[in-house]
Chain A
Amino acid sequence: MTKTVKVKRKRWFAKDIFGLEVSFPGINPTPGQFFQVRTSDTLDPFLNRPISVASYERNRLLFIIKVVGRGTRLLSEKKKGDDLVVFGPLGKRLKLKKRKTLLIAGGIGVAPLYFLALKLHARKIDFTFLYGAKRPCDLIVKSSISRIAQKAIFVTERGSRRSMTAVSALRHIDTSMYEIGYTCGPKKMLVELQALNLQFPVYAFCEDFLGCGCGLCLGCAIKYEGMYKRICVDGPVFELGKIEFNV
């Protein structure tokens, strides 16, 4: 059911990345789940924006959002006390596995993986958090990640001594100890990561333009094991090796 919630806190993490914290009692979202968020009371932009949960603590839901277009820009204008119309949580529930875990985030893909990191930490599951962004100032929630991860690796493509993406950094890391991986980031990164063919299963948190977000419109297709699946209800988490990207 769509629900109108109040923005309790708004903060900027980077120049174009902000967080909206809303009060939403009585839910139990899992990493990867998302909400369809309305950007405007008018009919333009028309569709909701799928925003994944970045944390849920003490009935407070945090969305971490990057301004990429008109819809997210309108959301960035929300202030404390404003109403936000949301629908969710949507997407399949993810079951955490007690295995040595590697998280690989690229850009704003950090948002759902941050939530996953918080959950792994709460379950006392060891994990390494590898996080790449364009520039050092684009790396967000670094101190929280450093606090809860067994090992945190931050890399940037520009502005650091060794310019690297999360995927190129992987080539310098011994990955033999990991039993499971989770990743979220731009499609280009997922394609490169898939090509690395890591020796443990990696699960990708996928994103796309969504229509309804709840499985009705078949708009968010992803080719998986030769069939089209719906990102919104069959995912958004899929085994990376089985995705057929149309590049």
Chain B
Amino acid sequence: MFKISSLTFKNPVFIASGVFGFGLKYKRVANSVGAIFTKGITLEPRMGNPPPRIYETPSGVINWVGLENPGVEEFCKRFLPKLRNLRTRIFVNVAGFTVEEYERIVEKIGSRVDGFELNISCPNVEKGGAAFGQHPKIAASVVERVRKRTSLPLIAKLTPNFCDPLQIAKACIDAGVDAISLINTLYALVYDVQEKRPLITGGLSGPAIKPFALYCVHRVRDCGVPIVGMGGIITGQDAYEFLCAGASAVALGSALLRDPYAPVKIIRELKLLMGKG
């Protein structure tokens, strides 16, 4: 059984950040998975981006939500106490716009969760996000500073957009993360030919990106820490492929857009496959 730092998990199927809110609505689903990555939390509340925020593409979906969330204060007051009642591991997805913001968010939450996922890869914000995760030095500086503020397990969520996730992973591991999750969504755009402007720019997810996500996981497989693989996992077979390619666990994202109960089914399918394997 794999561990992230000293944490064990009831199964290797997690729910990715951004598709499950804070996990409180579908408790049966939440309690069935190994861990939940919360919606990204910022220091201040964020309204998110104007519509359209979502657009379907072949076997995929582009989102441009823009980190809508209540901010860390409100999160701690309204959601955190309830989250603690769930029977799963909770990782707060931390989204800072400056290095200091990552530190402050982590400090405010303290040790009331199981760990943190550092979002250095959001493609949908003007500053921060992916800008931190595309450069090994900057990514490492975020990890280093946050590492000093918490002893809880830290996971860095990486982008594969215009960078080599292996280099970023190595830098983050040297700076002290306990695991790597990847991939965040891919830069994507839909063009409105009538208006002669982009209709939506955002992050592409779903089955369309699965082969690339698998490639990325396979590329970083020997980095020395557990990998949480994600990107277009819809079935137990998909999850199994990620585990075989080098991931210790997988996270489900777009699958929940199609069916919020998908994790229950995927866990069942994966168990069967792992039993055979």
A-side residues, CB < 8 A to B, are: 1-2, 38, 43-48, 71, 87, 208-212, 214-223, 227-228, 246
Q: Would you list which residues of chain B between 28 and 62 have a CB under 8 Å from chain A?
A: 39, 47-56, 58-61
B105 at the interface (CB under 8 A from A): no
Q: How many residues of B contact A (CB 8 A)?
A: 34
Chain A residues near B206: list those with CB within 8 A.
43, 46
- A71 to B61, alpha carbons, bound, how many Å? 14
Contacts A46-B254, A217-B256, A220-B54 known; list 6 others, CB within 8 Å.
A46-B56, A211-B61, A212-B19, A216-B260, A219-B54, A219-B65
Across the A-B interface, how many residue pairs have beta carbons closer than 8 Å?
94
- When the two chains form their complex, are residues A209 and B52 in contact, meaning their CB atoms are under 8 A apart? yes
- Which single residue of chain B is at the shortest CB-CB distance from A44? B59
Chain B residues near A218: list those with CB within 8 A.
18, 21, 39, 48, 53, 65, 68
- When the two chains form their complex, are residues A216 and B25 in contact, meaning their CB atoms are under 8 A apart? yes
What is the CB-to-nearest-CB distance from B240 to chain A, in angstroms, rounded to a whole number? 17
Chain B residues near A219: list those with CB within 8 A.
53-54, 63, 65, 257
Q: Would you list which residues of chain B between 222 and 239 have a CB under 8 Å from chain A?
A: 234
Chain B residues near A212: list those with CB within 8 A.
19, 256-257, 260
Q: Which single member of B47, B234, B257 contacts A211 (CB below 8 Å)?
A: B257
What is the CB-to-nearest-CB distance from B258 to chain A, in angstroms, rounded to a whole number? 6
What is the CB-to-nearest-CB distance from A154 to chain B, in angstroms, rounded to a whole number? 31
Q: Contacts A43-B234, A47-B258 known; A215 to B25 CB distance under 8 Å?
A: yes
B261 at the interface (CB under 8 A from A): yes
Q: Contacts A43-B59, A46-B60, A209-B56 known; A216 to B256 CB distance under 8 Å?
A: yes
What is the CB-to-nearest-CB distance from A214 to chain B, in angstroms, rounded to a whole number? 6
Chain B residues near A45: list those with CB within 8 A.
56
Q: Which single member of B25, B49, B53 contacts A214 (CB below 8 Å)?
A: B25
- When the two chains form their complex, are residues B54 and A211 in contact, meaning their CB atoms are under 8 A apart? yes
User: Among A211, A215, A220, A246, which residue has the most Cβ atoms of chain B within 10 A?
Assistant: A211
B207 at the interface (CB under 8 A from A): yes
- When the two chains form their complex, are residues B260 and A214 in contact, meaning their CB atoms are under 8 A apart? yes
- Which single residue of chain B is at the shortest CB-CB distance from A221? B51
- A181 to B59, alpha carbons, bound, how many Å? 39
Chain A residues near B58: list those with CB within 8 A.
44
- When the two chains form their complex, are residues A46 and B20 in contact, meaning their CB atoms are under 8 A apart? no
- A87 to B26, alpha carbons, bound, how many Å? 14
- When the two chains form their complex, are residues B59 and A217 in contact, meaning their CB atoms are under 8 A apart? no
What is the CB-to-nearest-CB distance from B176 to chain A, in angstroms, rounded to a whole number? 31
- A178 to B207, alpha carbons, bound, how many Å? 50
- When the two chains form their complex, are residues B68 and A228 in contact, meaning their CB atoms are under 8 A apart? yes
B195 at the interface (CB under 8 A from A): no
- A227 to B258, alpha carbons, bound, how many Å? 26
Chain A residues near B192: list those with CB within 8 A.
none
What is the CB-to-nearest-CB distance from B266 to chain A, in angstroms, rounded to a whole number? 13
- A215 to B206, alpha carbons, bound, how many Å? 19
- Top 4 A-B pairs, shortest CB-CB distance: A219-B54, A44-B59, A43-B207, A211-B257
- When the two chains form their complex, are residues A222 and B51 in contact, meaning their CB atoms are under 8 A apart? yes
- When the two chains form their complex, are residues B53 and A2 in contact, meaning their CB atoms are under 8 A apart? no
Q: Which single member of B52, B61, B63, B256 contacts A46 (CB below 8 Å)?
A: B61
Chain A residues near B68: list those with CB within 8 A.
218, 221, 228
Chain B residues near A1: list those with CB within 8 A.
261
- When the two chains form their complex, are residues B258 and A46 in contact, meaning their CB atoms are under 8 A apart? yes
Chain B residues near A47: list those with CB within 8 A.
56, 61, 257-258
- Which single residue of chain B is at the shortest CB-CB distance from A48? B258
**Digit string of B246-277 for contact with A (CB within 8 Å is 1, else 0)?**
00000000101111110000000000000000
Q: Which single member of B25, B26, B47, B63 contacts A228 (CB below 8 Å)?
A: B47
- When the two chains form their complex, are residues A2 and B261 in contact, meaning their CB atoms are under 8 A apart? yes
- When the two chains form their complex, are residues A2 and B63 in contact, meaning their CB atoms are under 8 A apart? no
- A212 to B262, alpha carbons, bound, how many Å? 12
- A1 to B264, alpha carbons, bound, how many Å? 11
